Structure formats: C-alpha cells, structure tokens
C-alpha cells in the first residue's frame, strides 16, 4: 500500500497530543507517503457511482461528514448519514457537493441512530431498505476516542463504551444490512480504522484494541461473504 488517508488521521491527532514518533513503539511504515488531503487516486470527482446506495455512520461531522460529501461528489444516487444528531442539517451541503461536481442531487436520508443500541441500528437499517431498496456500500465511520488513561485508571464503563461504539456498532449495522447487500451481488463494507490498530501506546488501551477488533471484523466479513458479493 503506497498511500494512506482516512486511517492516518487518528494517528496524526495522537502524535500531536503526545509527541509520539513512529519509532517509539510499533511500526507506522504502512505507507510511503502520509497525506493530509485528497490525492488523485481517491478524488471523488473522478468516480461515477450513479445508481449506488451508501450508508455512512458518524456522518454528521468530521471525517464522516467529509465522506458523505465525497460520495455526493462521486455521484452516488442514494446517501444515508447516520449519527446521534446533526444529519438533517447536512442535507443542503450534500446537495451543494453534488452540484459542485455537476452530479444530480442524491436522495438523502438523515438517520438518528445510537450505534451501540441494537434496536436503533436495526430501525436505521430498515429505513435504508424502505427508502432506497438497496445498499451497495457501508462506511462504518462512527467511533469515539476515549482519552488517555492507564488501564487501572480507566473507568470500566467508559472502557466498555468505547467498544460498544467502535466495535459493537459496526458489527450491528453490518449484520443488519448483510441480507440487503447480498441482493446487489456487488457490495462493499468500509471500516474506518486507525494506525493505532497496529500500535501499542500506553494510555490508549481501549481505543487501540477496539481498532484492532474492527479491522478484524472487516477481515471476517471478507472471509465469510466475499464469494457472495460483499467485499471490504
């Protein structure tokens, strides 16, 4: 892999706050060039996703919001953004993003969803099926960081909550939408992970272990469903 974008952002954040360098612990040479902006290979305006339906979790701000707008620029016909709040207000930005690339405005579905809650996630999945009738791409972006604490200092509820959002959430939404994705025969799941999945830095146990787990989840989806048409 010669380039990296989404997965490097949490690393840059951690490095800024802690002064961590790649040689301190672990190995960050997974990419020869670290990018802080879009590069030609992932320029959404060069894609044509007409007819495709995509769901982005954690889509109301930050990386998630940028992904939502990128899919609008890429011409996706159906875009759903899920988050605890703020997805309704994103509608005009989605329309403007599509317009900026001379693409038709997609059908936009704002979803209020609690990613760690099974009932909430399954309701969101049902909304996607009812409104779009298909799901070609899931982007599991929703996640929380949790701060810097030694294991003995971490509140157990907070430690577990990081797993609920970062691991249970992607599992629940993927599980709920697999039947719909299998109908397309050509679907994709994207889990936004982190270089932290490969590193071991003190005070980051919950976050880094959760990112290892969500990376493995993607590998298992590929193992169990790639021959049926779902890739990661």
**Catalytic center residues:** 207, 211
End-to-end CA distance of the chain: give it in Å, rounded.
Answer: 15
Whole-number Å distance between alpha carbons of 141 and 123: 18
CA 223 to chain centre: 19
The position carrying tokens 């612990």 is: 25
Whole-number Å distance between alpha carbons of 12 and 4: 12
Instruction: Locate 51 and state its tokens.
Output: 């007819």
Whole-number Å distance between alpha carbons of 158 and 148: 12
Instruction: Locate 101 and state its tokens.
Output: 């690339």
Between the CA of residue 194 and those of 117, 132, 191, what are the distances in Å? 23, 30, 10
């Amino acid at each position: 892999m010669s380039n990296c974008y989404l997965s490097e952002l949490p690393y840059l954040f951690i490095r800024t706050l802690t002064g961590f360098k790649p040689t301190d612990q672990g190995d960050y040479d997974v990419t020869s060039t670290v990018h802080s902006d879009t590069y030609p290979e992932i320029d959404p305006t060069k894609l044509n996703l007409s007819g495709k339906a995509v769901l982005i979790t954690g889509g109301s701000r930050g990386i998630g919001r940028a992904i939502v707008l990128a899919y609008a620029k890429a011409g996706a016909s159906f875009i759903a953004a899920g988050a605890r709040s703020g997805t309704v207000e994103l509608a005009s930005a989605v329309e403007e993003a599509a317009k900026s690339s001379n693409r038709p405005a997609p059908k936009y579905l704002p979803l209020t969803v609690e990613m760690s809650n099974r009932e909430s996630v399954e309701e969101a999945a049902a909304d996607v099926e009812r409104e779009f009738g298909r799901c070609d791409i899931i982007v599991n972006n929703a996640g929380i960081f949790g701060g810097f604490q030694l294991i003995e200092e971490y509140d157990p509820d907070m430690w577990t909550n990081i797993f609920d959002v970062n691991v249970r959430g992607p599992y629940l939404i993927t599980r709920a939408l697999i039947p719909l994705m299998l109908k397309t025969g050509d679907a994709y799941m994207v889990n936004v992970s982190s270089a932290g999945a490969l590193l071991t830095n003190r005070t980051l146990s919950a976050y880094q272990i959760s990112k290892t787990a969500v990376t493995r989840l993607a590998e298992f989806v590929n193992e169990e469903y790639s021959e049926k048409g779902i890739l990661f």
